[in-house]
Structure 1
Amino acid sequence: MNFLKNLFLLFCLILLTSCSKDVAKESIINEKSLDLQMIEAYNEGMSALKGGDVLFAAKKFNEAEILYPQSIWAPRSALMAAYSYYIQDYHGDAVAELERFIKIYSNHENLDYAYFLLATSYYEQIVDEKKDLQSLSKAKENFLIVINSYPNTDYAIDASFKLDLINDILASKEMYIGRYYLDKKKWISAINRFRTVVDQYDTTIYIEEALHRLVETYYLLGLSSEAEKYAKLLGYNFQSSQWYEKSYALFDKNYVQKQKKTKELNQQKASDSLVEKIKSLFE
């Protein structure tokens, strides 16, 4: 009886061992099959991308990522899906893919490229700076991440250039609104807009006019000390500017006439000099 029990146990043990080998073998086969499916999907995506079918390409790249999420090709597939949308100007889809990539693959080696492409996708959605404020702010936010987190990359160089353009647009908007308030004699609102340009966009082309408008506004309010403060700041940094001349003219009512007489005198001297040169040719 004991012999039969031992024989039965031995049979079960052999059976279990055989089954476990079959399971392991099946698992390896499935894993290899999954790997091959992922590679096939990725290659189909690349072929579709080269052929111009970006929507199908993005679909295949997403499929490759889902098939084998543990693979090093999964994040690459996610980036390629985003790029596929981007090159065909599907910026909304590109943004969604890139934001997902940044969240899931937060330590990936190509994170700098992901942030740059995300910022560029927002940037290229800017059509009207008066309406597309979210695109402006999001583009600026992500370009700053590229510049501050990856300063030694080519992406940072291009990001700095685009950020300057964004700041010019934002400063232009502030100046437009500030001038409107100034015309409507809403002094405080106008000052706030011009101050924003001076404080936040001092490297833009609008800084000189913003300083002059502050001089002008404070002068109209009778706040001479504040007007003089900004006039001195304007003169110290931009003394040759037309805006400095306009500010100076506010404090010296005869300044315009003096400048006009000086200009006429210089023109007369230049004319007399030319006449003398012509005469000398015939002497």
Structure 2
Amino acid sequence: MTVRSAPSRGFIRLLSLLLVVAVAGTGCSRVGKMFKKDKDADEGQPVEAIYQKAHTSMTNGNWASAEVSFKRLVAQYPYGPYTEQALIETAYAQYKSGKHDDAISSIDRFIRTYPTHRNIAYLYYLRGLVNSSRDTVFLQRVWRLDVSRRDLATPTQAYNDFLIVVERYPNSRYAEDARKRMLVLRDTFARHELDAALYYLRRTADVAAADRAKYLLETYPQSRYQYDAVAVLLTAYNRLGNETLAADARRVLQQNDPSHPALNGEWPDYPSNLRKLNPFAGEKSAVDNRDELEAERQKQ
């Protein structure tokens, strides 16, 4: 009678490793076949069918799937009205999915290729929307960082995009909304200048504060923050001992914004130093404090 020895531990480990590799290889093969099958699903299909598939994905809010289908349509049918529309909707899908850099690249490429396209006004309008949203990143949503206190390069580009729509295509369906968005961006720029003026004012750099406030009034007249700029002038001139200019600023403020707290010496009301130590409090300035005070007065 022959007695067979038990398999060694090394042999068992080797066998287990081979089984794992075999299973993994089978799984990868199946996944690869699935992707290939999905990719091949659009090959040879009529352009109308691929476009309808992509459009359905758009309707359902599946932006990634729509982008993939539109790109496959362009690859198979590089010319024609469906292709031009697919290029436009690719940019929109990228914008909606937060791929802002890709969207800008797609838009710029379309504008260069089809500068006289019937929908060119929409492309400039869409580029404005994308540039308006490029700074809306995770940290801004979570920490509530004010865009006016960030780099204004992309909001400025957005303003210029909307300006193109308004000036070159005033009769287009996008012109009116572009004008409204320009006003919002204009207030953002004015707020940026006001925060800078308040920064100087807090550090008793009164001449610099007055210069920044005057720049706001000259560059962004009739903005939402114009009378806050006048309040900066009132405070700065009082500190500098220029009674004539301080009296002029007070007169303008009394005539146009008689409830402004600067008239009672209660502005600017800066956030406390304790708030700055709270990482969950978000950024806040004297302008925010005034807005909250106004909201409370309206409730009473």
TM-score, normalisation: structure 1: 0.64
Contact 2:227 2:257 in 1 (8 A): no
CA contact (8 A) 1:123 1:139 kept: yes
The separation in 1 between residues aligned to 2:60 and 2:227, in whole angstroms, is: 51
Instruction: Determine whether 1:177 maps to 2:196.
Output: yes
In structure 1, give the amino acid aligned to 2:83. Answer: A
The letter of the residue matching 1:199 is E
Matched, 1:111 2:111: no
Partners in 2 of 1:151 and 1:241 — Cα distance? 38
Would you say 1:216 and 2:225 are equivalent positions?
Answer: no
Quote the Cα distance in structure 2 between the aligned partners of 1:88 and 1:185. Answer: 46
Give the aligned partner of residue 92 of structure 1.
101
Aligned to 2:38: none
What percent identity do the matched residue pairs reach?
24
User: Does residue 142 of structure 2 align to residue 133 of structure 1?
Assistant: no
Distance (whole Å) between structure 1 residues aligned to residue 105 and residue 190 of structure 2: 29
Write the deviation string for residues 223-247 of structure 1: whole angstroms up to 9, x where unpaired: 4454455455556xx4452349829
Structure number with the bigger relative contact order (C-alpha 8 A, sep ≥ 6) is 2
**Number of the residue aligned with 2:258:** 241
Residues of 2 paired with 1:133 and 1:85: CA distance? 22
1:215–1:247 Cα contact (<8 Å) kept? no
Task: Note the C-alpha offset of 1:211.
Answer: 1.5
On the 8 A contact 1:112/1:150 being kept in 2, the answer is: yes
Tell whether the 8 Å contact from 1:218 to 1:227 is kept in structure 2 after alignment: yes
Within 5 Å, give how 1:1-283 maps onto structure 2. Answer: 38-125=47-134, 126=136, 127=140, 128=145, 129=147, 130-231=149-250, 233-234=252-253, 238-239=255-256, 241-243=258-260, 246=263
Question: 2:115, 2:44 → 1: CA distance?
Answer: 24
- Looking at structure 2, the residues matched to 245 and 45 of structure 1 have their Cα atoms a distance apart, in angstroms, of 57
User: How big is each residue's C-alpha offset from its partner over 1:131-185, in whole Å with a ceiling of 9 and x where there is no partner?
Assistant: 2523322222212222222223332222222222222222222212211211211
Please state how far the C-alpha of 1:108 moved relative to its aligned partner: 0.8
Which residue identity does 2:263 align to in structure 1?
K
Query: Aligned letter for 1:141?
Result: N
CA-CA distance at 1:59 after TM superposition: 2.6
Question: Displacement of 1:208 after TM fit?
Answer: 0.9
Partners of 1:63 and 1:42 in 2: CA distance: 10
Structure 2: segments with no counterpart, 5+ residues: 1-42, 266-300
Task: Find the counterpart in structure 1 of residue 273 from structure 2.
Answer: none
- Per the alignment, residue 21 of structure 1 pairs with none
- Cα separation, 2, equivalents of 1:51 and 1:241: 51
Partner of 1:86, secondary structure, is helix
Could you say which structure has the larger radius of gyration? 1
Shift of residue 95, structure 1, vs aligned partner:
2.3
Aligned residue type for 1:241: P
8 Å CA contact 1:82–1:95 kept in 2: the answer is: yes
Higher helix proportion: 1
